[in-house]
């Protein structure tokens, strides 16, 4: 039997949309699965069910060769016996233990010497040297996050579950830790499932991504696939970003970055230190379309192309423009009519430098 | 001042508090974490001594442990003498009488431990019992001390139950409150005043300790 995670569960909460989620994917040593969706979509419930902290009324959860839940044959494995590392959104550090005490908490099976060695190893890996004796309340948000992760990883779990690992942090710290977390997850070579509603996190951290909306899983694929080719209008709405292409950073000057995408050159606002290989992300709502020959607006990016596809989204329309790469714009139906856009029409797409988001690509 | 009565009283109060620390923990744990729908029935029973007149409680305990009840007969066969009007009988009655004063602060303290911390402990592989001793108990320390001190203080001042179950045997079951009553009956107001003042000061000091230590919560009535 291939190493797989199989989740097929139904869970209802009184007065809320019931959750019916089903997915399976192969687990390799360092696969990161992203459960992506807006709040209330049921992604945390799925994660907690995998952790054994929530009990779906019906369904099965299997991890590799072990069955953790099978309501039909009344198999319920408690969280203690699943050998998982779980990190809650607010980290849930034990206030009555020091940093070292928190990390050692789950190491009761080791000898005292083994425990000390493992704690030391974790302290070094997670850059916590000097903080061993500090209490959780004395730590910054980023430090707390690293302690929580170290505590979850210390007992060598077979699966790591992270619930919104970065959402409790302020924006600059979040951007910095996103990259660090990616590096750590690869270093740990441990399969993980990460819940997030942040598309930058999904792109940075994920190998596989499952999009959840109103309790069901709408699409499973690589993050780039899901973002750039949403399976349907619901997915497109949930993920919100529709143009994700690979680019290369060629220049940064006066806070503006120049990125090459194929033969095209785009201007983006440079944020932080970024590697040269990037994902270029543009939200469809940020792209405006004008007829060729109209006066240039103040936007930094103007691309000429032809309409490749038009799809209706009710009052809105989703237009894919072929301009060296597929660029998606969402405009109103009336604008579509005014511009007379049909497949093959030449059009100019404009968007501001601030609308071009660069995400480091590993 | 009747030092013998004071000694009996402190012995009774200390043993009551110590017993409740042992008996009260599992009851409080169950009350704090059970999701049983009829839990309130048990909660009400535990709280009953708060509202019941001590004489009523004392009466039922007396009947329950008396020589005509199965419990009383079993005890008599086992030990050789009946339970009423002994120190052990009085201790049993005190434990029941002070039960809510220990269990409610314990349960409140357990309930205030963040559920997510408990879940984190489980996912780190610790059983429910280990989680209780390594996490819940240390985080509930203030509530445990409050419960123990309150049941101690409550036992110091108990009167009706002692009179019903313990009687008034010098050196065995005559507590300070009974002693004061006897002094007043004998019109020895000076003696009563001294003992009463002593009890007042001790009770106040005990409560002072509880409040100073536990400024956030007045834990006799769970705050929800």
| Chain B: residue whose CA lies nearest to A157 | B124
**Residue A297 pLDDT:** 82
CATH code of B18's domain: 1.10.3720.10
The H-assigned helical ranges of chain A are 43-51, 99-104, 112-125, 141-153, 171-188, 199-205, 223-228, 233-239, 333-339
Pairing verdict, β A288-290 and A277-283: unpaired
The span from the CA of B74 to the CA of B82, in Å, is: 9
Nearest CB partner across the interface for A106, out of B119, B125, B127: B125
Interface with B, mutate which of A68, A80, A90, A137 (most B CBs under 10 A): A80
Closest-approach residue (CA) in chain B for A54 = B119
Q: If you measure CA to CA, which chain A residue comes closest to B115?
A: A92
Distance CA(A322)–CA(A240), nearest Å, equals 20
Paired strand residues for A241: A283
The number of beta carbons lying within 10 Å of the beta carbon of residue A91 is 23
Q: What pLDDT, on a 0 to 100 scale, did the predictor assign at position A1?
A: 44
pLDDT of residue B224: 39
Indicate which of A55, A77, A82, A88 best probes the interface with B, i.e. most B CBs within 10 Å of its own CB.
Answer: A88
Residues of chain A positioned with their CB less than 8 A from the CB of B127? 80
A33 neighbors A50 (Cβ within 8 angstroms): no
Using CA atoms, how far residue B49 sits from A92, B52, B54, in Å, is 38, 5, 8
Sheet architecture: strand order including A256-261: A264-269, A256-261, A241-253, A277-283, A356-360
Q: How confident is the model at residue A279 (pLDDT cuts 50, 70, 90)?
A: confident
- A194-206 tens-digit pLDDT: 999 888 888 888 9
- Contact present, B146 and B105 (Cβ < 8 Å): yes
Residues B42-66 have pLDDT tens digits of 999 999 999 999 889 999 998 888 8
Q: For residue A167, what pLDDT is reported?
A: 86
Give the model's pLDDT for residue B222.
44
Closest CA to B158 of B73, B90, B68: B90
Q: How many domains does chain B have?
A: 1
A124 and A10, same structural domain? yes
Q: Are residues A132 and A272 in the same domain?
A: no
Answer whether B126 sits within 8 Å of A80, measured CB to CB: yes
| Same-domain pairing of A220 and A296 | no
Residues A231 and A257 grouped into a single domain: no
pLDDT at residue B214, rounded to an integer: 67
Select from A51, A83, A94 the Cβ nearest to the Cβ of B117.
Answer: A94
Residue A146 CA to residue A144 CA, distance in Å, equals 5
Domain-embedded: residue B224:
no
Percentage, residues of chain B above pLDDT 70: 95
> For the ranges A226-240, A279-293, B74-88, which has the lowest average pLDDT?
A226-240
Residues facing residue A258 across a β-bridge = A251, A267
**Which residue in B114, B122, B135 is closest to A80 by CB distance?**
B122
Q: Tell if the CB–CB gap between A106 and B124 is shorter than 8 Å.
A: yes
Mean pLDDT in residue range A183-198? 89
CATH code, domain with A319: 2.40.50.100
Q: What is the pLDDT of residues A79-126, one digit of tens each?
A: 999 999 999 999 999 999 999 999 999 999 999 999 999 999 999 999
Contacts of B114 in chain A (CB under 8 A): 92
Give the range of the structural domain holding residue A71, as residue numbers without chain letter. Answer: 4-241
A198 lies in the same domain as A248: no
Q: Tell me how long chain A is.
A: 362
Are residues A198 and A264 both part of a single domain?
no
Residues of B with Cβ-Cβ distance to A90 under 8 angstroms:
116
Can you say how many angstroms the Cα of residue B39 is from the centroid of all Cα atoms in its chain?
Answer: 21
Residues 81-120 of B with CB under 8 A from A: 114, 116-117, 119-120
Q: Are residues A170 and A294 in the same domain?
A: no
Whether residue A116 is found in the same domain as residue A156: yes
Q: Which two tokens stand for residue B130?
A: 């280990």
Instruction: State which of A195, A223, A241 marks the end of a domain.
Output: A241
B125 in A contact zone (CB under 8 Å): yes
B138 in Cβ contact with B54 (< 8 Å): no
Residue B153 lies in a domain: yes
As given in the structure block, the two tokens for residue B77 are 């066969």
Q: What's the pLDDT tens digit per position in A39-74?
A: 888 899 999 999 999 999 999 999 988 999 999 999
A236 and A287 within one domain: no
Nearest Cα residue to A195 out of A46, A27, A19, A20: A46
Of A51, A108, A152, the CB nearest to B126: A108
pLDDT of the residue at B220:
46
Touching check for B67 and chain A: CB below 8 Å? no
Q: How far is B14 from chain A (nearest CA, A)?
A: 28
Q: Which CATH number covers residue A148?
A: 3.40.50.300
pTM: 0.80
> CA A294 to CA A350: how far, in whole Å?
11
Lowest mean pLDDT among A151-165, A168-182, B11-25, B189-203: A168-182
Cα–Cα distances in angstroms (integers) from residue A107 to residues A81, B117, B120, B134, in the given order? 14, 16, 13, 13
Say whether pLDDT at A2 is over 70: no
Q: Which of A188, A216, A241 is the last residue of a domain?
A: A241
Nearest by CB to residue B122, choosing from A79, A95, A151, is A79
ipTM: 0.80
Closest CA to A346 of A296, A282, A289, A264: A289
- The total domain count for chain A is 2
A75 vs A233: CA distance, rounded Å? 38
Percent of chain B scored above 90 by pLDDT? 49
Among A60, A86, A87, residue whose Cα is nearest residue A74: A60
The contacts of residue A340 (CB under 8 Å, 6+ apart) are: none
Cβ contact (<8 Å) for B122 and A155? no
Helix axes B39-51, B3-33, angle to 10 degrees: 160
Q: A318 near A284, Cβ under 8 Å?
A: yes
Whether A63 and A171 map to the same domain: the answer is yes
Give me the domain span that covers residue B101: 3-213
Domain boundary among A219, A241, A263: A241
Model confidence band, residue B215 (pLDDT cutoffs 50, 70, 90): low
Asked whether the predicted pLDDT for residue B221 surpasses 60, the reply is no
Round the average pLDDT of chain A to a whole number and report it.
88
A353 and A247 in one domain? yes
Q: Judge whether B223 lies within some domain.
A: no
Q: Would you say residue B219 lies in a domain? A: no
From the list A92, A96, A155, the residue facing B125 with the nearest CB is A155
Q: Locate tokens 């199965």: which residue?
A: B70
| A234 shares its domain with A288 | no
Nearest-angstrom CA–CA distance, A15 and A21? 18
Is residue B101 over pLDDT 90? Answer: yes
Band (B211; pLDDT cuts 50, 70, 90): confident
More confidently predicted of A286 and A242: A286
B123/A53 CB distance under 8 A: yes
């Amino acid at each position: 039997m291939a190493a797989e995670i199989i989740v097929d569960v139904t869970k209802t909460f009184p007065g809320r949309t019931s959750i019916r989620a089903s997915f399976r994917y192969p687990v390799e040593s360092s696969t990161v699965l992203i459960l992506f969706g807006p709040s209330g979509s049921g992604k945390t419930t799925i994660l907690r069910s995998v952790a054994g902290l929530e009990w779906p009324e019906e369904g099965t959860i299997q991890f590799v060769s072990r069955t953790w839940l099978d309501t039909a044959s009344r198999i319920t494995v408690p969280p203690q016996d699943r050998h998982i590392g779980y990190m809650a959104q607010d980290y849930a550090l034990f206030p009555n233990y020091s940093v070292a005490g928190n990390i050692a908490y789950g190491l009761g099976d080791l000898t005292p010497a083994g425990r000390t060695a493992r704690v030391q190893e974790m302290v070094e890996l997670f850059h916590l040297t000097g903080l061993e004796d500090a209490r959780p309340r004395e730590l910054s948000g980023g430090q707390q996050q690293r302690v929580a992760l170290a505590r979850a990883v210390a007992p060598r779990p077979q699966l790591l579950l992270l619930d919104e690992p970065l959402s409790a942090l302020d924006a600059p710290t979040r951007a910095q830790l996103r990259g660090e977390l990616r590096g750590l997850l690869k270093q740990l070579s441990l399969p993980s499932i990460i819940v997030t509603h942040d598309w930058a996190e999904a792109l940075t951290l994920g190998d596989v991504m499952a999009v959840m909306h109103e309790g069901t899983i709408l699409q499973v694929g690589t993050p780039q696939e899901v973002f750039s080719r949403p399976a349907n209008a619901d997915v497109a709405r949930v993920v919100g970003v529709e143009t994700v292409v690979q680019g290369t950073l060629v220049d940064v000057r006066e806070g503006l970055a120049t990125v090459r995408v194929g033969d095209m050159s785009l201007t983006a606002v440079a944020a932080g230190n970024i590697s040269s290989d990037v994902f270029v992300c543009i939200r469809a709502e940020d792209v405006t379309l004008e007829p060729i020959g109209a006066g240039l607006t103040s936007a930094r990016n103007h691309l000429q192309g032809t309409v490749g596809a038009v799809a209706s989204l009710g009052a809105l329309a989703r237009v894919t423009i072929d301009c060296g790469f597929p660029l998606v714009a969402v405009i109103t139906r009336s604008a579509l009519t005014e511009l007379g856009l049909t497949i093959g029409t030449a059009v100019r797409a404009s968007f501001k430098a601030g609308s071009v988001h660069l995400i480091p690509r590993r | 001042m009747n030092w013998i009565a004071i000694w009996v009283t402190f012995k009774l109060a200390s043993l009551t508090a110590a017993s409740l620390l042992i008996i009260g923990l599992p009851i409080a744990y169950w009350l704090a974490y059970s999701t049983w729908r009829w839990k309130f029935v048990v909660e009400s029973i535990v709280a009953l001594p708060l509202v019941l007149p001590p004489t009523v409680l004392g009466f039922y305990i007396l009947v329950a442990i008396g020589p005509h009840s199965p419990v009383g007969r079993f005890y008599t066969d086992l030990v050789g003498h009946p339970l009423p009007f002994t120190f052990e009988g009085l201790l049993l009655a005190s434990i029941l009488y002070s039960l809510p004063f220990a269990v409610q602060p314990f349960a409140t303290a357990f309930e205030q431990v963040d559920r997510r911390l408990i879940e984190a402990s489980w996912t780190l592989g610790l059983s429910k019992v280990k989680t209780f001793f390594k996490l819940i108990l240390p985080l509930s320390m203030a509530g445990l001390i409050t419960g123990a001190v309150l049941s101690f203080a409550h036992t110091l001042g108990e009167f009706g139950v002692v009179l019903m179950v313990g009687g008034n045997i010098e050196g065995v079951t005559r507590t300070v409150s009974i002693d004061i009553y006897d002094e007043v009956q004998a019109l020895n107001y000076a003696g009563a005043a001294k003992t009463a003042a002593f009890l007042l000061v001790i009770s106040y000091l005990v409560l002072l300790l509880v409040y100073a230590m536990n400024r956030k919560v007045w834990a006799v009535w769970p705050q929800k």
